[in-house]
Amino acid sequence: MKSLGLAFLAGLVSALGFAPLGLWPLTLLAFAFLVWLIEGAPSLRAALARGWWFGVGQFVLGLNWIATAFTYQAAMPAWLGWVAVVLLSLYLAIYPAAAAGLAWRWAIGGTSASAGETPPPLAPGRPVVLVLLLAAAWIVTEWLRATLFTGFAWNPAGVAWVGVAGVAGLSAYVGTYGLGAVTLLAGGALFLLARRRWLAGAAIAAPILAFALLLLPIRVTAPGGRPLIHIVQPNIGQQNKWDRGYERENFERFVRLTGPPAPEPRLLLWPEAATPDFLAYDAAARRRLAALLGPRDLLLLGGVEPVFDAAGMGIAAYNSVYVLTPDDRLTGRYDKAHLVPYGEYLPMRPILSAIGLSRLAPGDLDFRDGPGPRTLDLGAFGRAGVQVCYEIIFSGQVVDEANRPDFIFNPSNDAWFGAWGPPQHLAQARLRAIEEGLPVIRATPTGVSAVIGADGLVEQSLPLGTAGAIDSRLPGPFPPTLFARYGNLLPFAFALLLVAAAIAVRRKAR
């Protein structure tokens, strides 16, 4: 039981490396401790349990912001939010448990002891094999976590590196899941060095350090000819967003922060669900918004596209982003494809609604999913890929490969994500920029709105809980990265390479 408690504490410590704290050295130490716990497991069952409790600790702390979402609706008690965090963590911990079990089974299983006994000494190469196989298994299990049951890719291990110049750049070559393996390898190197396996530890750490130096980003300032963008962050809290009594005040905030037309064309960017009006059906609402634009401006904003049945009754909706012109025309639309279970739709609605559960987002209609990544032609402003809110966290699923955009627009509503959710969301958007070699522009109602360069560095941002606007030149894209060309084939190829290295080490040790 003591080892399980230590695994849980190590998981808690590992989450301190994620935003907003960013204490990434603690994450590496926590993973080094996890390797030690797995190495000392007397059986496969013990290894699985240690990996599972590590995951529970990491997710309970890292996902604490989910509890805040329950405070913004009245259908369910707020305390249920913490129940949801714990239950979700108990499920998500299955994936690190599986990685721990796979690594133990193939690295140590042949030398296991009976239950309750101390495991026998390992062969000289076994600790190195364990580290390599754990890193490979982590790639597979994190990909599964992001895929099964619609997926929940929040806080992959690699996101701890996002503030570390150079190391995060590896995601352009091995993707986010491959970067997670690098996190495990770095922790494993610390474990080996602590075990005085100097040569093995150095052999794993040296390539990471070398690539970190080679991939140090070079700041590229957007030239003066790049389009001008204007991001609006109105600081409208979730408690007021859908209140009809605040509708006029909310709109006036957008008007004030949008400001008068500029001497040159501007691409105006408003957050997710910025307007409560059904723009496709409300000409007056379109004219009211178009009046804010200069003659060559465009407005990208979030809204809701209703779906009606033959009798004219609303039966569903899309979470959409519209392109509005100065002459009040809608010239493009993107419908969110990766919806949030329990947030935008209620799974098994007849059963769950009968026991008192409801969606966290207000409204009686469930959202429908759109067709997937799509590039919108914005004329002089280039081509925009759109990823609404939490869609941006899914590595390899954010760009229309047949029509590569010049940048990704990520409108979001993080107002109900507490203090930890928004900076974590920003960190994951930065990884998408590095992976794809594309700038990411974020517009949120309460923060963090940001201009992220194609190198993943934040050029400008507005902090949480502030009203303001960002005027910036649209950063330019990089040529397609290796990951942009081959996607998640690369982390799986990396996993195979790690497995091959583990087999080679084992044979040499024999």
Hey, which residues are catalytic here? 272, 336, 389
Report the SS3 class of residue 45.
Answer: helix
Report the SS3 class of residue 322.
Answer: strand
On whether the CB atoms of residues 431 and 159 are closer than 8 A, the answer is yes
> Which tokens in the block code for residue 193?
């060095």
Strands 375-377 and 383-386: antiparallel
On whether the CB atoms of residues 366 and 346 are closer than 8 A, the answer is yes
How much of the chain is in helix, strand and coil states, percent to nearest 5?
50, 15, 40
Q: Can you list the pairs that 335-338 forms with residues at least 24 positions away whose Cβ atoms lie under 8 Å?
A: 335/305, 335/368, 335/369, 335/370, 335/371, 336/367, 336/369, 336/370, 336/388, 336/389, 336/391, 337/369, 337/370, 337/371, 337/372, 337/373, 337/391, 338/150, 338/151, 338/369, 338/390, 338/391, 338/394, 338/397
Residue keyed to tokens 């859908």: 242
Closest by CA position to 306, among listed 343, 328, 276: 276
On whether the CB atoms of residues 133 and 502 are closer than 8 A, the answer is yes
Sheet holding 375-377, edge to edge: 375-377, 383-386, 407-411, 440-443, 449-452, 458-462
On whether the CB atoms of residues 265 and 302 are closer than 8 A, the answer is no
On whether the CB atoms of residues 258 and 301 are closer than 8 A, the answer is no
Closest by CA position to 231, among listed 275, 277, 278, 266: 266
